Amino acid sequence: MIRSVESQPPASAPVLAAYSYCEAVTGQQARNFAYGIRLLPTPKRRAMSALYAFSRRVDDIGDGTLPDDVKVARLEDTRELLTRIREGAVDEDDTDPVAVALAHAAGHFPIPLGGLDELIDGVQMDVRGETYETWDDLKVYCRCVAGAIGRLSLGVFGTAPGARGAERASEYADTLGLALQLTNILRDVREDAEGGRTYLPADDLAKFGCSDGFSGETPPEGSDFAGLVHFEVRRARALFAEGYRLLPMLDRRSGACVAAMAGIYRRLLDRIEHDPGAVLRGRVSLPGREKAYVAVRGLSGLDTRHVSRRTVRRRA
């Protein structure tokens, strides 16, 4: 069973300042993520912000305009910083607020920091320009850049005392990360194509006549783009259904946080399914009022109760 530390001694002024910096980064750069973690108690919210800020730094290196050899060097520098954090070699008065905050969080929660090494591995795949022939190939990438984040987050959330099946919590957190990442890939099809990247499996693209890629607001001539999108949506829904089995294993507020973040992406998936061509015309998003509804639903425990009932029926 994975348990987190609920009560902590007061943090020092430098650590609080470092957390404030990470929370500012999170609020500015990841609105959906920031929306979800607002539901957490303060220590967990701060720890999640530290994880996000470090992850954002890694992603920004991969997405930036620097030459590839410089990106590789900076990713290795970031890996060395992670090693210092893991070894407890970052002092509270260090000049890097992200390192200070993450080091403090890792000292108070059982965060599996190796997941951040996996994230760096995934971003290195981006720098190399890797493409993916099959879904099994793409899953390796998704586990690095998203499944690992699910497992890292579980280190902060912990599992509720006595939670049934908690030994599989890490597996479900990983699967939920895959569901979120596949939704991201669908949403960003055109944006990625404009950046010279293709994430959807080549086998799937060929099956639906989309091997020529996505360079404009209309699908490739003669393709079944809607069929491709609906195929990937079904795959993502299956991943969500499996990953949601994590919810009954979490405490109420952690479960609400996960339900809110995942719920936002499931609603994005609904919109993409309803209008597949929307992902070629612009970025699909949810209005604030719909995000608020998802958060209220998460706090009410509706999703958790639904998953619990479905799990009981399966066992019966």
What's the whole-number average pLDDT of the chain? 90
Q: How confident is the model at residue 96 (pLDDT cuts 50, 70, 90)?
A: very high
Taking only the tens place, the pLDDT of each residue in 97-154 is 999 999 999 999 999 999 999 999 999 999 999 999 999 999 999 999 999 999 999 9
DSSP per position, 126-174: HHHT---SSHHHHHHHHIIIIIHHHHHHHHHH---TT-TTGGGHHHHHH
Nearest alpha-carbon partner for 144 in 159, 160, 128: 128
**pLDDT average, residue stretch 45-65:** 95
pLDDT of residue 88: 95
- Residue bearing the bigger pLDDT, 74 or 195: 74
Q: Comparing 25 with 9, which gets the higher pLDDT? A: 25
Distance from C-alpha of 109 to C-alpha of 125, rounded to nearest angstrom: 29
Please state the rounded mean pLDDT for residues 256-283: 92
For 213, the 3-state DSSP assignment is coil
Split at pLDDT 50, 70, 90, the class of 312 is very low
Phi, psi of 64 (to 5 degrees): -75, -175
**Rounded Cα–Cα distance for residues 53 and 23 (Å):** 8
What CA–CA distance (Å, rounded) separates 3 from 137? 32
Dump pLDDT digits (tens) for 75-84.
Answer: 999 999 999 9
CATH class, domain 131-315, is mainly alpha
φ, ψ dihedrals at 224, nearest 5° = -110, 70
pLDDT of residue 289: 79
pLDDT in tens, 278-305: 999 988 888 877 777 776 776 665 555 5
The answer to whether residue 5 scores a pLDDT higher than 50 is no
Confidence of residue 7 (pLDDT cuts 50, 70, 90): low
Outline which parts of the chain fall under CATH 1.10.600.10: 13-110, 131-315
> Homologous superfamily of 13-110 in CATH?
Farnesyl Diphosphate Synthase (1.10.600.10)
Dihedral, CA of residue 95, residue 99, residue 105 and residue 109, to nearest 10: -150
pLDDT in tens, 192-201: 998 889 999 9
> Distance between CA atoms of 230 and 272, rounded to whole angstroms?
9
